[in-house]
């Protein structure tokens, strides 16, 4: 019985220290209604034609939909990704966003993932003059919500950039713990 479960969960990517944003490609029920008005669901992250998207994150970095792992903070665009030289929200200054001054055409929005949820938005006072001067709005969110927001806006074809800091604390859910136990149990099984 363990071998059956082992093969089912062998390719699981979730563990206690990593949170996935998507896992499957297309959800269709065979034999379902095929006429006009048919409803189907499509997972955006699996469509590589839409560009780079964030599949998961951890305390040390991010996993993209092309299976690339980025260690540390990053700046992500729909077709490229760069390492970002900040450690926390205290390092976020106008200088940290100097790259966005020279990129043309200007972005519709910059999605800023600040790591963990914060109650003090004083760092934004440093960004407000930059935002006004270059007419670039910011969406400031905890990294978990910022990843999903970047993916959604990018899939809509918006000219968006993401500036993401990995969170320091990730709360493990019961599902994360179960998937982790199943994953590590299978590491020691012989095929």
For residues 8-12, give the mean pLDDT.
Answer: 39
Strands 74-76 and 41-42: unpaired
Tell whether the model's pLDDT for residue 159 goes beyond 50. yes
In this predicted structure, what is the pLDDT of residue 172? 76
Secondary structure of 54-83 as H, E, C letters: EEEEECCEEEECCCCEEECCEEECCCCEEE
Tell whether the model's pLDDT for residue 17 goes beyond 60. no
Say whether the peptide bond before residue 134 is cis (omega within 30 degrees of 0). no
Confidence of residue 93 (pLDDT cuts 50, 70, 90): confident
Q: Phi first, then psi: give them for residue 75, nearest 5 degrees.
A: -115, 125
pLDDT, tens only, 164-185: 999 998 877 888 788 778 877 7
For residues 21-44, give the mean pLDDT.
Answer: 55
Domain holding 62: CATH number?
3.40.1230.10
Q: How far is CA 185 from CA 6, 41, 173, 189, in A?
A: 8, 32, 18, 7
Say if 9 falls within a structural domain.
no
From the number of C-beta atoms within 10 Å of its C-beta (0-12, 13-18, 19+), residue 22 rates as middle
In this predicted structure, what is the pLDDT of residue 23? 46
| Helices then strands, each counted (H, E), the chain | 5, 11
Looking at mean pLDDT, say which of 5-9, 91-95, 136-140, 181-185 comes out highest.
136-140
Q: Is residue 86 within 8 Å of residue 92, measured between CB atoms? A: yes
Mean pLDDT across the chain: 78
Domain count within the chain? 1
Tell whether the model's pLDDT for residue 43 goes beyond 80. no
Say if 10 falls within a structural domain.
no
Question: Alpha helices, DSSP H only, in 9-142?
Answer: 99-102, 124-134
Say if 62 falls within a structural domain.
yes
From the number of C-beta atoms within 10 Å of its C-beta (0-12, 13-18, 19+), residue 166 rates as buried
Domain of 60, in residue numbers: 17-171
Confidence of residue 123 (pLDDT cuts 50, 70, 90): confident
In this predicted structure, what is the pLDDT of residue 146? 95
Sign, CA dihedral 120-125-126-128, equals positive
In this predicted structure, what is the pLDDT of residue 154? 92
Say if 76 falls within a structural domain.
yes
Confidence of residue 160 (pLDDT cuts 50, 70, 90): very high
């Amino acid at each position: 019985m363990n071998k059956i479960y082992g093969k089912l969960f062998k390719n699981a990517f979730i563990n206690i220290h990593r949170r996935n944003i998507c896992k499957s490609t297309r959800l269709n029920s065979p034999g379902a209604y095929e006429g006009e008005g048919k409803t189907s669901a499509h997972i955006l992250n699996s469509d590589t034609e839409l560009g780079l998207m964030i599949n998961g994150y951890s305390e040390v970095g991010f996993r993209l939909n092309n299976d690339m792992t980025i260690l540390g903070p990053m700046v992500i665009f729909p077709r490229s990704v760069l390492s970002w030289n900040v450690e926390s929200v205290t390092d976020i200054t106008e200088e940290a966003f100097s790259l966005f001054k020279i990129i043309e055409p200007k972005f519709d929005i910059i999605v800023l993932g600040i790591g963990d949820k914060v109650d003090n938005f004083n760092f934004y006072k440093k960004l407000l003059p930059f935002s006004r001067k270059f007419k670039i709005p910011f969406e400031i969110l905890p990294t978990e919500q910022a990843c999903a927001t970047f993916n959604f806006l990018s899939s809509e074809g918006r000219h968006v950039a993401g500036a993401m800091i990995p969170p320091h604390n990730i709360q493990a859910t019961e599902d994360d713990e179960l998937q982790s136990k199943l994953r590590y149990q299978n590491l020691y099984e012989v095929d």
